[in-house]
Structure 1
């Protein structure tokens, strides 16, 4: 190629690149300094938009973390390519990006994540020192006047130099000739890569991102006799990552994945005993390392700035146990005289077993279970909610729903004696009252310190562990029952 042709080639490039190339041609190759792009290294960006997307899969974790696998068709040229993946997550962690291309050998040289998005304020800010046009309109005649101006500042308002005057407020519309190259309409990852061939290929861009979260929510309905419940599980997804994932394959990981100071993490690419129907699983579940992976069996679109719910499971006629419990009514008085205590209301628990026999049996992600029951008129009323942790199959689920209005207890210490410096004897009376129209069984749990011995009791205790005792006491309808026990404690 002739010297004149080379100069013409240089003039077609961007101003900075053209000047660098022209200097090189005039002064020789030695004039090209380190860091100054050579002409053969300057290539036009290849835009890769969502219209080129052929598939997307998302795995969302519990900790504001998601793995995105974005598959798109790309047009390659032999040699250098600037592949501009638009509409990636605005909260992507670019250090985790991984590009794989089918049908071509592509070597990534560098990548740039451009998340400085185009806004009127940013457009002014990036135009400081550049020429713009100011168009004013004569409202009487409708005539427009155009003046050239230089943007001097865009901090706290615009400052323009128009001719020989400085304007601190624009007298008209500001018109820009072009968008500064470092501003993007959408978050874009530009990958500088070398390809061994030209043509169309399929690329998968994988990366970790924030801004995607999920949580499990459960809605349960108690039967009229409070012996069973129907439960529906939902996955609530929130997308604040800055882009939309259309027709995505959705997977969720339940479990706490270890992360080191937000650094890149390593990723890893029965019959029921009862005849009642089992839980219908809208999502399938499998083990993944020490976690559980839930997969939605159909694609779903997760729009930007959207919260949506996806069905997780549905189960009917799950047997439940209801419990009225009092805890540590007397535990503070084993080493001193406590006298009478205040009346307290029972805490109400509802529990079930997450197993096949209970028509459940699917590992339950942590979340909130909200319980409802129909009133006498058939209107559904909210009766309480509780949070559960990740619950494996065959484990118990116990929900704290609130305080029982009609079931109360009043405890008092009837005896206190210090036998020695380390031995104490005390006795207690607990009166349980039940204002309901049906009898109830209450549970009393006491944590007894040191080495203990029950001296007497009006109901047989159960040893939950070495320092926890449990009693069950039946209280008649609209009546009361007194329970007594005495204990010796040695420290």
Structure 2
């Protein structure tokens, strides 16, 4: 498992010989998770590589004793960014903030026990019985070396069962992602603490599902808000929000969590008389790879896998303005589980007027050996009189039609962010019904001539728009093209099962 998140402990341990009171806060009483999407993200989200982020606000009730103490907030997000953490409710009692990234793992556990006495339980090679004795850890985790009454030896080289049993876990290791601060209080007090921080490993997407009406003149537009949590920590009964828009945010340094596996290395492999002396004899095959827990330490935080939860359209995200951004608030508490995705309805418009056409792009000196299919474009105006008029976050777009009472897929594309009253064009996959070809006709008086031909095998007329691009040193010579938005376009209506062609002359002026 790759750990690219920032795991921190704000608040150090007491110096050697100093008794330090530790106050544990195992979980938040109330939590809100606001997810910001990756502005460059598209397509399906990979839980192992989410490039969005979230702002987490936790409310906790803690009992603070008089004097100095460490307050340990357990169960924070493992992707927590240290510089972003703020704590309200402790006043000026905070006296020290440090950070550490040591999580409880086999390697970290043994590394923290160096030079300390542990209990060793092993199987005797001679008798096959369980033997228990004291040992001192001398080296770990890249090969575990222990010292017993019999001397120094590498552990786990006998091939029999062996286990080290420490009397306690080192105080600087934590089994959960933990954030802690050291405080000094004049008297015992009860405090309501609000902990706010930014964390990586989150993202969200919009996914639009459009279904054509039977008359083919409108479509039902539905959008899902899909929220993804790739972190090792989940948040139960959270207030969940998603923010749309581009946020100016700089990359921050991430603290990699120090999670060490144990790498056991033994020599010699087998007994001396079993090692071949003949150099022509190939060496024995390497031992099989160690099991997954030995090769790579699993996260110390429980990973709960949860399927996508499809929430009925009656529970729909509520849109709010957040300056230039848009905020979508899920109106009920939800569980933003670890390593999971969750969906909730975001937009539902029953009848959006639209038009469909085919669009192509070409250069005037382009040539095609075979006819090429043109993509289908769905266009609608984002305005109330056309059945819409809502801010539309970017996302995937899926178009369905109906045949014999059942839906079937017509194509998929992607929408970019669109404000109210803007035009929306969604390019779907290439449609084989309308095809485009371009060939050279000849050259006359330093002019080149090309022919662009469109063919259709559809049983209905089709509107087609072809953008014809040219370099700065190419000039049209009397063209029927139309100029629109600074570009030349051939705009034509193809009859059912028909074709159309156009010839263009141009000259290179360089």
Residue 437 (structure 1) aligned with residue 459 (structure 2): yes
| Counterpart residue number, 1:27 | none
Q: 1:331 aligns with which of 364, 368, 372?
A: 364
Q: 1:464 aligns with which of 484, 499, 503?
A: 484
Q: 1: CA distance between counterparts of 2:466 and 2:495?
A: 16
Residue 285 (structure 1) aligned with residue 319 (structure 2): yes
Q: 1:479 aligns with which of 498, 501, 505?
A: 498
- Cα displacement string for residues 145-193 of structure 1 (whole angstroms, at most 9, x for unaligned residues): 4200111222344222121233323553321100011111101111012
Residue 65 (structure 1) aligned with residue 34 (structure 2): no
Three-state SS of the structure 1 residue aligned to 2:365 is helix
Three-state SS of the structure 1 residue aligned to 2:108 is helix
Is contact 1:113-1:188 (8 Å) kept? no
Q: How far apart are residue 456 of structure 1 and its match?
A: 5.7
| Counterpart residue number, 2:154 | 168
Higher relative contact order (Cα pairs below 8 Å, separated by 6+ residues): 2
Question: TM-score of the superposition, structure 1-length normalised?
Answer: 0.77
470-479 vs 65-74, greater mean Cα deviation:
470-479
| Counterpart residue number, 2:427 | 400
| Counterpart residue number, 1:253 | 243
| Counterpart residue number, 1:363 | 391
Residue 127 (structure 1) aligned with residue 113 (structure 2): yes
225-234 vs 398-407, greater mean Cα deviation:
225-234
Q: 2:144 aligns with which of 152, 155, 158?
A: 158
Three-state SS of the structure 2 residue aligned to 1:455 is coil
Residues 388 and 195 (structure 1), Cα distance of their counterparts in 2 relative to 1, 3 Å cut: farther
Residues 79 and 44 (structure 1), Cα distance of their counterparts in 2 relative to 1, 3 Å cut: closer
- Cα displacement string for residues 101-145 of structure 1 (whole angstroms, at most 9, x for unaligned residues): 1xx644322223444221233322221211111124689999754
Q: 1: CA distance between counterparts of 2:410 and 2:107?
A: 51
Is contact 1:116-1:187 (8 Å) kept? no
Question: TM-score of the superposition, structure 2-length normalised?
Answer: 0.74
CA RMSD of aligned residues (A): 3.2
Q: 2: CA distance between counterparts of 1:291 and 1:443?
A: 34
Three-state SS of the structure 1 residue aligned to 2:453 is strand
Residue 191 (structure 1) aligned with residue 181 (structure 2): yes
Residues 440 and 281 (structure 1), Cα distance of their counterparts in 2 relative to 1, 3 Å cut: farther
Residues 490 and 142 (structure 1), Cα distance of their counterparts in 2 relative to 1, 3 Å cut: closer
Residues 218 and 140 (structure 1), Cα distance of their counterparts in 2 relative to 1, 3 Å cut: farther
Q: 1: CA distance between counterparts of 2:340 and 2:111?
A: 30
357-366 vs 184-193, greater mean Cα deviation:
357-366
Is contact 1:283-1:296 (8 Å) kept? yes
360-369 vs 405-414, greater mean Cα deviation:
405-414
Q: How far apart are residue 343 of structure 1 and its match?
A: 2.4
Q: Which runs of 5+ in 1 are unaligned?
A: 1-13, 19-38, 265-278, 420-424
Alignment length (residue pairs): 422
Residue 91 (structure 1) aligned with residue 98 (structure 2): no
- Cα displacement string for residues 293-329 of structure 1 (whole angstroms, at most 9, x for unaligned residues): 222222211112222222222222222211112322x
Q: 1: CA distance between counterparts of 2:477 and 2:179?
A: 72
Q: 2: CA distance between counterparts of 1:196 and 1:331?
A: 81
Three-state SS of the structure 2 residue aligned to 1:112 is coil
Q: Which runs of 5+ in 2 are unaligned?
A: 1-12, 39-51, 255-312
Q: 1: CA distance between counterparts of 2:14 and 2:464?
A: 85
Is contact 1:367-1:387 (8 Å) kept? yes
Whose helix fraction is larger, Structure 1's or Structure 2's? 1
Q: 1:455 aligns with which of 455, 461, 478?
A: 478
406-415 vs 389-398, greater mean Cα deviation:
406-415
